[in-house]
């Protein structure tokens, strides 16, 4: 399942207009490293050859094809002129390690680098799909990292990194996304992590490797984390004031939904704002939200759906309660003020001053549209509708699909806001001139636009491509009569401008 930040509009993804002094380089499987690299006709053969020439403001465009990995070191972009590596199509695959490490893409001691639109799969040894270290203000977006030896995306000592719209799956040893060391102000949003041997999204400040051992002001939102194994869906060690909202976390085995603790970090994670997440813990999972001693300090837990199917573990466990707030949640009748060692009833939990306005969960089919199919949109009569608090309003302004909150009389609880269908009649963006109608869709829908040629992909809730066309003029009508009900992601690239839009349509019968 993959949701994107707006069901009402596409979002432009890609580099801004390049300054006049910037150089565009091109790489193609049909190219040669003896070429100039300045056009598709004169493209280089290897990405590394282009990487060896880049300076601030340059962009390397890579055609569809299969490539050896690349390494970028000791060169910086700027805030206004980043160095950009961008896949031109939807099948730019790196399946061999780069020249220095076992990683597919390695960025090291290089600020303001953008990695956009690559597959990086099957890295061997200790290889990561994408590795960014000792590099600030970098962006990793629109990438797919699968079956890598260590992790999908790994970063270390990376202030102000942005990790968005990626799919990180089936890491053999560890995690989907791992942000480590003293990396302040990371933003991890709109990613999907599943099938990884350990954690979906892991943040570890690790004081033993230098720096202050604290990750400050992390933002983790709009991610879908499911079917991982061990520790937690979202794991936070040594974080200060993280904001965690609009995440969908389900079916992670032997794992907490969200964990706040200290192991390698210089401090216990504290001051967290945990708002509007949907957390479904399977029968072999652990706790919905686990706070060790000290993680309670200035932590707020509002508007979350936390349902635990474990035999005795429950929704929230703490080891201390001072300065913690928790309310307006949907929970099971299993809580704990003694850590992982036991449970207390919800009514006893309330006597501690928590969850006065919270509710005991109804059966899943009464809360969600189709939980058996992992569709955790709210059902028409869900107890979560209008039952939340606006105490989250300075942070949570939209839901996981980008629908404005609140859409009714009050905030809905959980990652999704229940919408009236008239709110999503069409999807479009001014920048690309794209319009999709009708939306919601039944038997067919039409994509209209002003450009000469577009590549279009349609993905189901599992992130699988169910339809793809290339170099298509618009308008174009898709037949959706055989689709199952639910949300579908549409990715569109304007082949002239190389700008990309991402949006969502809802199929209903």
Q: pLDDT tens-digit profile of 206-251?
A: 999 999 999 999 999 999 999 999 999 999 999 999 999 999 999 9
* Residue predicted with more confidence, 450 or 182: 182
> Domain of 499: which CATH number?
2.60.40.3080
pLDDT over threshold 70, residue 2: no
pLDDT (mean) for 407-417: 93
Identify the DSSP state of 441: B
pLDDT at 219: 98
Together in a domain, 387 and 454: no
In this prediction, residue 66 carries a pLDDT of 98
pLDDT at 430: 57
Same domain? For 346 and 469 the reply is no
pLDDT class of 313 with cuts at 50, 70, 90:
very high
pLDDT of residue 504: 78
Least confident of 153-162, 473-482, 492-501: 492-501
pLDDT of 20 > 70? The answer is no
**pLDDT band per the 50, 70, 90 thresholds, residue 439:** confident
Confidence of residue 465 (pLDDT cuts 50, 70, 90): confident
Q: In whole angstroms, what is the distance from residue 64 CA to residue 470 CA?
A: 12
Query: Strands 434-437 and 427-429: what pairing?
Result: antiparallel
Higher pLDDT, 409 or 378: 378
Output Rg (C-alpha) for the chain, integer angstroms: 23
Distance CA 451, CA 443 (A): 25
Q: Is the pLDDT of residue 1 over 80?
A: no
Q: Are residues 292 and 402 both part of a single domain?
A: yes
Q: Are 284 and 255 in contact (CB under 8 A)?
A: no
Q: Are residues 361 and 458 in the same domain?
A: no
Domain that holds residue 457: 425-507
Q: Write the DSSP assignment of 435-469 as a string of letters.
A: EEESSSBSSEEEEE-SSS-EEEEEE-TTS-EEEEE
Q: Please state whether beta strands 454-459 and 465-472 pair in parallel, antiparallel, or not at all (unpaired).
A: antiparallel
Judge if 247 and 362 occupy the same domain: yes
CA distances to 252, 458, 460 from 466, in Å: 26, 6, 7
**Tally of residues, the chain:** 509
> How many Å apart are CA 26 and CA 69, to the nearest integer?
15
Are 332 and 388 contained in the same domain?
yes
Residue 55 within any structural domain of the chain = no
End-to-end CA distance of the chain: 20
Residue 22: which pLDDT band, with cuts at 50, 70 and 90?
very high
Task: Give the pLDDT confidence score for residue 8 in this predicted structure.
Answer: 27
What's the confidence (pLDDT) of residue 484?
82
Q: Are residues 446 and 403 in the same domain?
A: no
Please, which pLDDT band fits residue 429 given cuts at 50, 70 and 90? low
Q: Which residues, other chains included, contact 384 with Cβ-Cβ below 8 Å and sequence gap of 6+?
A: 305, 330, 367, 378, 412, 413, 414, 418
Q: How confident is the model at residue 17 (pLDDT cuts 50, 70, 90)?
A: very low
Q: How far apart are CA 290 and CA 82, in angstroms?
A: 39
pLDDT at 426 over 50: no
Question: What mean pLDDT is predicted for residues 100-115?
Answer: 98
Q: With bands split at pLDDT 50, 70 and 90, how would you rate the model's confidence at 428?
A: low
Q: What residue spans of 208-318 are helical by DSSP H?
A: none
> How many structural domains are present in the chain?
2
Please check whether residue 18 lies inside any domain of the structure: no
Pinpoint the alpha helices (H) of 11-98.
47-51
* Same domain, yes or no: 322 and 389: yes
Q: Is residue 6 scored above 70 in pLDDT? A: no
Examine the fold and report which residue of 419, 446, 465 is the final residue of a domain before the chain moves on: 419
Same domain, 318 and 354: yes
pLDDT score, position 462: 61
CB-based contact 385:265 (threshold 8 Å): no
pTM: 0.82
The 3-state DSSP composition of the chain as helix, strand, coil percent (nearest 5) reads: 5, 40, 55
When pLDDT is averaged across residues 385-389 and rounded to a whole number, the result is 97
Given 379, 396, 419, the domain boundary residue is 419
Residue 234 is predicted with a pLDDT of 98
User: How does residue 508 score in pLDDT terms, banded at 50, 70 and 90?
Assistant: confident
Q: Mark residue 151 as left, alpha or beta (left: phi above 0; alpha: psi -120 to 50; beta: remaining).
A: beta
Domain check: are 255 and 401 in the same one? yes
The first and second tokens of residue 17, run together, are: 């207009």
Choice between 290 and 438, residue whose per-residue pLDDT is larger: 290
Q: Are residues 288 and 376 in the same domain?
A: yes
Question: In the predicted model, what is the mean pLDDT of residues 358-384?
Answer: 96
Residue ending a domain, choose from 419, 448, 467 = 419
Model pLDDT, residue 486: 75
Same domain, 403 and 466: no
Domain-located, residue 492: yes
Segment 92-118 mean pLDDT: 98
Res. 473: pLDDT tops 50: yes
What is the rounded distance in angstroms from the CA atom of residue 231 to the CA atom of residue 187? 21
């Amino acid at each position: 399942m993959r949701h994107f930040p707006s069901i009402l509009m596409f979002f432009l993804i890609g580099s801004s207009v390049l300054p006049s002094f910037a150089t565009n380089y091109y790489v193609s499987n049909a190219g040669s490293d003896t070429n100039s690299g300045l056009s598709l006709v004169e493209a280089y053969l290897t990405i590394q050859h282009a990487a060896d020439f880049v300076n601030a403001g340059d962009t390397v465009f890579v055609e569809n094809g299969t490539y050896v990995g690349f390494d970028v070191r000791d060169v910086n972009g700027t805030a206004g002129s980043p160095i950009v590596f961008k896949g031109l199509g939807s099948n730019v695959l790196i399946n061999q390690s780069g020249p220095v490490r076992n990683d597919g893409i390695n960025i090291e001691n290089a600020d303001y680098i953008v990695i956009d639109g690559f597959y990086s799969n099957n890295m061997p040894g200790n290889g990561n799909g994408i590795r960014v270290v000792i590099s600030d203000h970098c962006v990793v977006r629109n990438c797919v990292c699968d079956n890598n030896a260590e992790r999908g995306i790994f970063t270390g000592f990376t202030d102000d990194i942005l990790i968005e719209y990626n799919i990180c799956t089936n890491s053999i040893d560890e995690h989907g996304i791992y942000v480590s060391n003293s990396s302040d102000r990371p933003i991890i949003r709109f990613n999907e992590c599943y099938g990884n041997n350990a954690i979906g999204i892991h943040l570890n400040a690790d004081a033993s490797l230098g720096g202050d051992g604290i990750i400050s002001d992390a933002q983790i939102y709009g991610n879908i984390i499911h079917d991982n194994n061990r520790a937690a869906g979202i794991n936070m060690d040594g974080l200060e004031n993280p904001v965690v909202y609009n995440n969908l976390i389900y079916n992670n085995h032997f794992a907490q939904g969200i964990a706040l603790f200290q192991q390698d970090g210089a401090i216990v994670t504290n001051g967290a704002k945990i708002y509007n997440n949907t957390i479904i813990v399977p029968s072999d999972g652990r706790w919905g939200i686990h706070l060790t001693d000290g993680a309670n300090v200035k932590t707020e837990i509002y508007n979350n759906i936390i349902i635990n199917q474990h035999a005795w573990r429950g929704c929230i466990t703490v080891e201390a309660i001072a300065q913690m707030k928790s309310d307006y949640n949907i929970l099971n009748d299993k809580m704990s003020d003694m850590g992982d060692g036991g449970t207390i009833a919800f009514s006893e939990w309330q006597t501690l001053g928590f969850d006065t306005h919270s509710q005991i969960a109804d059966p899943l089919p009464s809360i969600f549209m189709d939980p058996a199919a992992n569709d955790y949109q709210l059902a028409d009569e869900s107890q979560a509708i209008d039952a939340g608090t606006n105490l989250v309003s300075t942070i949570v302004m939209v839901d996981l699909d980008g629908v404005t909150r609140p859409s009714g009389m009050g905030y809905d609880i959980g990652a999704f806001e229940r919408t009236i269908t008239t709110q999503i009649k069409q999807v479009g963006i001014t920048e690309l001139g794209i319009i999709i109608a009708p939306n919601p869709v039944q038997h067919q829908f039409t994509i209209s636009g002003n450009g000469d040629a577009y590549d279009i992909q349609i993905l189901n809730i599992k992130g699988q491509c169910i339809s793809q066309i290339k170099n298509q003029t618009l308008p174009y009508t898709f037949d959706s009569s055989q689709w199952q009900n639910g949300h579908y992601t549409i990715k569109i690239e304007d082949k002239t401008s190389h700008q990309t839009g991402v949006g969502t349509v809802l199929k209903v019968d």
